[in-house]
Amino acid sequence: MRYLALAAADERFGNGNQRFYFSILDYQFEYDWGSHSPRAIDNYMEEFDSLENVDPWIDCMIRGKYHISKGWQARGDGYANNVTEEGWEVFRKEISTAENYLTKAYGIHPEYPEAAALMIHIRMTSSGLLDEKDWFLRAVEAQFDYGKAYTIYQQALHPRWGGTHKAMINFGNACLETGRFDTRVPRYYLRTLKLISKDSPSGGGAWVKPFRKRGVYKKVRHYFESTLSDPREGLEYYKEYSAYAVYAWACGEYEDARQIKQDLGENFIPEMSDEELDIEPSNFLNHLSRT
């Protein structure tokens, strides 16, 4: 953590290279603290505070992420009614401080998407002149395929954060309709289906309902056929092609799923059922063979 902090002052992370440094640190400052203890993050910040000549954008972004993390550490990741008054007080203070740093970072480099994306997260728990959608649009204007902006905004649309499943589906449809199959953006349609299915009651196969609605498989098929339109080889291609079978199966299109599996032959990867939909590969294969 000490050397990571020291690297922040390296002049090679200036002149347009600031984003490289922040991407290295980004995963370590998630609100759930990732694999690092709060003390390890504090050790990083103690070293960081002693540095001179840190790029202003890097400085604001790191401090913004740090204060988001400190706020969530105090709040906890449970439901709002389980948070103590002291936890709320610290959370609001830290989030307000984070907002100040992130809006400053955005002002320094509005052509970078990171600050705007994190402001979506800030707006999920606070009010302001610009809402989550405004900040999302600013982020994707800076970089159309900046994945974190899509992930955070999709979270903001979830019922737990005051959104609705309908809003999530509309967003997923919009991602698919961009037609930008040269990016991962259309895949957020599949992610939307998966997130909604996780909200279904456990047991009885209720999780498949979002996949079985009218018109869904047509869109799923459009996604995969567009993504896989250029014949190629390699692990990523076979994983995506295998995922096609998994989603066809989830949509109840068993014949298509079996045909895709047959077409892939030894290149079929059954583990994609677990990676995509948290279904044990053996359960997926057994069900597919019986239907």
Give whole-number Cα distances, 45 to 2, 12, 19, 48, 244, in Å.
Answer: 9, 20, 19, 5, 44
Residue 75 — pLDDT band, cuts 50, 70, 90? confident
- Residue environment code for 34-67, b if the CB has 16+ CB neighbours within 10 A, otherwise e: eebeeeebebbbebbeeeeebbebbbbbbbbbbb
**207: pLDDT strictly greater than 60:** yes
Residue 33 has pLDDT above 50, yes or no: no
pLDDT surpasses 80 at 79:
no
29 vs 163, which has greater pLDDT?
A: 163
Indicate the average pLDDT of the chain.
92
Q: What percent of the chain has pLDDT over 70?
A: 95
Asked if residue 30 has pLDDT above 90, the reply is no
Closest CA to 274 of 243, 252, 249, 248: 243
| Of 129, 111, 132, nearest in space to 121 by CA | 132
Of 87 and 38, the structure prediction assigns the larger pLDDT to: 87
Site of tokens 């993050």:
41
DSSP conformation class of 270: T
What's the CA gap between 107 and 102, in Å, rounded? 9
Q: What is the pLDDT of residue 248?
A: 98
Q: Does residue 72 surpass a pLDDT of 90?
A: no
- Residues 17/3, Cβ–Cβ less than 8 Å: no
pLDDT reported for residue 111: 97
Alpha carbon distance 168, 163 (integer Å): 8
